[in-house]
A and B are shown apart, each in its own frame.
Chain A
Amino acid sequence: MSPVRVVPVAAIAAALALLGLASPCAAVMAVPRTLDPSAAAAAHTGSMCGVCHSDVRVEEHQGVHEAEGVACIACHGGDPTATTVETAHRGNYRGKIARKDIPALCASCHSDVAKMRSYNLATDQLELYRTSKHGQRLALGDDRVAVCTDCHGVHEVRATADPKSMVFARNIPATCGKCHGDQKLMGAYGHKDDALAEYKAGVHGRALLEGGNDSAPDCTGCHGSHGATPPGAIDEGRRCGQCHSKVRAAFAAGPHKQELDDQGLPECVACHDMHRTAPVTIALLDTVCARCHRPGTKEAQLAGTFKTMYTQASTDVDEAEKLVAEAARIPLYVDDYRSRLALAHTALMESMPMMHSLDVAQVEPLTRKARSIADEVKGEIQHKLAGRVWRYVGLAFMWFYLVLTAMLLWRARARALARGAA
């Protein structure tokens, strides 16, 4: 359809809608983003709410509810066909929903298994919410806590997978940060307001927000979403272990866990910090162990042992990789070496989680494996590189014969010159 023709059609559709005479056809034209045109048309056929609440109507249009046929009256009641304010706002009209009533209102549909089945949505959000700190405080009458609309939006409720949604993975830190970064609000509860800033500076926040790695945890990854609760000291280890399963297993096998649990101290965050989780490097052993263990103690020496084992192995692997790159530029066959070094890297990578067991006997085989692979590869490449010295020998031989040939030619030339002169 040419743009010239769109204008009159849209204008006529708008005029009909305003007159309350809009046919389903005109409604479809006015709502081009509709997923299910018949449902949306049904939701707003004859609805006059937008005549006064045009801004709300625009917001609603961006969300999923309108597209699924959830009309204004589903939440607000009233008579959508009425043409005066008085007649529209009567009967079961509920007006603006009080914050304390919002979870129950949303749950009237979202806890309905039959209604949610076709969307494959969970129906336990309200139950979970009631277990959360937010839900618990709301039940006590504190309506400053987050309710459904604070995170999902009021009229513009978008699907979780929509990148513009407030609860899309990369938007979640900012959504939670709206309240949890608010000094005044958090101060009222005796909470710190630095969680968002700390998270952004940490390895998880950088991976999600800067690196675009959507599998990195956002706030809900550790705290849960509807059932959001700060994990307790013991719970926190379990949460981290959801992703860092090898670390968790090694840690559980070592002496730290029992000791910390007995004293009611946090596990992972004791060394790795909470929201500002530091990137894992071997240099962490220099700083975090010293938080509890004085230099010279048996424990501090163990950290030194781990660091030496790891550093030696990683240096060996780096050197082998440099040699492989050098050989590849010649080029020599290096595909086999590359796959062997990949194994060395895996062993090195496994050694770090294993250090949480604090057991040298478990870490040492891994670093030894990495070193032995790297040493083998280095030896084989050096042998091949050393063999290339024969090229120079060949070059010397070649020049010997070339010089000999040149001398013979020169002599023949001199003879020819003498004959020519004669």
Chain B
Amino acid sequence: MEQPTRSRRSVLGWVEERVSLTEIVSFLSVFGLLPTELDTTKPLKEALAESLRRPLPSYARWPHVLGILSFMLFLFLGVTGALLAFYYQPTAAEAYLSTTAIARDVSMGALVGQAHHWAAILFLAVLLLRILRFYFGALYGKGREIVWMVAILTFVAAANADLTGRLLPWDTRGYWSMVRAREVTDALPGFGPLATFLVGGAGLDSLILTRFYVLHMFVLPAILLVMFYVHFSSVRRVGLSFAVTASRPRPLRVALYDVLLLIVGLFGGLITLSVLWPQPFMSAADPLVTPHGARPPWYLLAPHAVQQVFPGTVPMVVRGLLIEAVFAVILLLPFLVKGDVTGSRRGRFAGVGLAACAAWVGLTALGWWLEVYR
């Protein structure tokens, strides 16, 4: 029993003399996988042991789980996305054929594709839930302004990643949902013309597909990674949440087991969803035939409804400015609310939040319904 232990130690020691392993591992702490700092001056084993003994509320259990869960989904999307990218070809001529080939001919390709799809749905859902928890938990007050804004911007970046990803299979649903989505975003003053300029035109052709591919594969994940970095580093500065004391602090080692359990559950859940409720395969996109009920993705249905329900006398610019104003209010909420949100004030804020949620759900339903009876 002694021999292998000694040899391991010696190998580790040999490497440690040449490379700062502690510094490499401390990289994990940047992305929340290890929520405490590592003392990079100490050898890895010593620094880890010290870190793992540190008491901490488990960040992989409710109510803190949403942050690490969204990051895990992001990693899962990265891994499955990379696997898909081995076979996917981003041209209008080949995109659909290569997507078909992935789903039909590549071993486990359909499963990976479905898992990527489901992870994207859950990713957005978790990010949205996180925003709601921040709001109703009043976790946007003094000191947490950046955390709140980053949560909002992470959702926006994730929605953009979802949007660009929809076009990539070049199938009927993705193509037309993208067409409808661009109708909504292009009509927004300022943002619309800028987005059109950045992607190089209002149409949807092979060049746009290539640009969306680069955005989806490289630019937006990079932005999301930065967002997660800013989030986790600021959370380390300001604490997990004001409710820290409510959770019983335990050694970090225990929290890491919670993370592993979460990974097992998440993996099982995603595979189960993919097998039991697979996304049906659609026909290739036909730019000349609009399928019945083509509508923007769910997160753009509310702006879509706002743009559509006003009478023609209200100019599109005004409708767009209204949407942008609502977004600005949400983004800058911490700066608009003065003082602590506690006691009866918190109840009032919760009421306002519920009303806003109800309005959003109503508008989303309206946006969906508009396309049913058109």
- Residue positions of A touching B, CB distance < 8 A: 328-333, 391-392, 394-395, 398-399, 402, 405-406, 409-410, 412-413, 416-417, 419-420
Contacts and interface: CB of A to CB of B under 8 A. Distances in A.
Contact of A409 (B55, B250, B253, B264): B264
Given A409-B257, A420-B254, 13 more contacts: A329-B281, A331-B281, A333-B104, A399-B268, A405-B264, A409-B260, A410-B257, A410-B261, A413-B254, A413-B258, A419-B251, A420-B250, A420-B251
B272 interface: yes
B254 A402 contact: no
Contacts of B278: 330
8 contacts: A330-B278, A330-B281, A331-B103, A331-B110, A333-B104, A405-B264, A416-B257, A419-B251
Interface in B259-310: 260-261, 264-265, 267-268, 271-272, 275-276, 278, 280-282
Contacts of A395: 271-272, 275-276
Contacts of A330: 103, 110, 278, 280-281
Interface string B93-126: 0000000100110000010000000000000000
Contact of B281 (A328, A391, A409): A328
B261 A406 contact: yes
B261 A413 contact: yes
A417 B264 contact: no
B81 to A, nearest CB: 20
Interface residues of B, number: 26
B271 A398 contact: yes
A160 B100 CA distance: 49
Given A329-B281, A331-B281, A392-B275, A416 B268 contact: no
Given A392-B275, A399-B268, A420-B250, A413 B104 contact: no
Given A398-B268, A409-B260, A417 B281 contact: no
A247 to B, nearest CB: 34
Contacts of A420: 53, 55, 250-251, 253-254
B250 to A, nearest CB: 6
Contact of B250 (A331, A398, A399, A417): A417
Contacts of A394: 275
B254 A416 contact: yes
B264 A406 contact: yes
A249 to B, nearest CB: 39
Nearest to B281: A331
A413 B256 CA distance: 9
A186 B103 CA distance: 67
Main secondary structure of the interface of A (DSSP, over half): helix
B254 A417 contact: yes
B240 to A, nearest CB: 18
A395 to B, nearest CB: 5
Contacts of B281: 328-331
A419 B276 CA distance: 41
Nearest to A388: B275
Nearest to A420: B251
A416 B251 contact: yes
Question: Considering the complex of A and B, which 3 residue pairs feature the smallest CB-CB distances, nearest first?
Answer: A413-B257, A420-B251, A331-B281
A332 B104 contact: yes
A158 B296 CA distance: 50
* Residue picked from B110, B254, B271, B280, most chain A C-beta under 10 Å: B254
A406 B258 CA distance: 10
Contacts of A392: 275
Contacts of B276: 395
A155 B261 CA distance: 91
Contacts of B275: 391-392, 394-395
Contacts of B271: 395, 398
Contacts of B253: 416, 420
Interface in B30-56: 53, 55
A419 B49 CA distance: 13
A355 B103 CA distance: 45
A420 B49 CA distance: 12
Interface string B5-38: 0000000000000000000000000000000000
Contacts of B104: 331-333
A185 B104 CA distance: 69
B229 to A, nearest CB: 28
Interface in B150-205: none
A57 B104 CA distance: 69
Contacts of A405: 264
A413 B276 CA distance: 31
B58 to A, nearest CB: 10
Interface in B217-268: 250-251, 253-254, 257-258, 260-261, 264-265, 267-268
A344 B103 CA distance: 28
Contacts of B258: 413
A164 B365 CA distance: 49
B3 to A, nearest CB: 25
Contacts of A333: 104
Nearest to B265: A406
A402 B53 CA distance: 28
Contacts of A332: 104
B242 to A, nearest CB: 24
A395 B254 CA distance: 29
A409 B103 contact: no
Contacts of B280: 329-330
A419 B280 CA distance: 50
Nearest to A328: B281
Contacts of B100: 331
A385 to B, nearest CB: 13
B96 to A, nearest CB: 11
B115 to A, nearest CB: 12
B35 to A, nearest CB: 16
Nearest to B282: A329
A328 B280 CA distance: 9
Nearest to A332: B104
A330 to B, nearest CB: 6
B264 A402 contact: yes
Nearest to B100: A331
A409 B254 contact: no
Nearest to B103: A331
A375 B38 CA distance: 68
Nearest to B251: A420
B251 A412 contact: no
A394 B254 CA distance: 31
Contacts of B264: 402, 405-406, 409
B261 A409 contact: yes
A399 B265 CA distance: 10
Nearest to A333: B104
Contacts of B53: 420
B151 to A, nearest CB: 29
A332 B103 CA distance: 8
A422 to B, nearest CB: 11
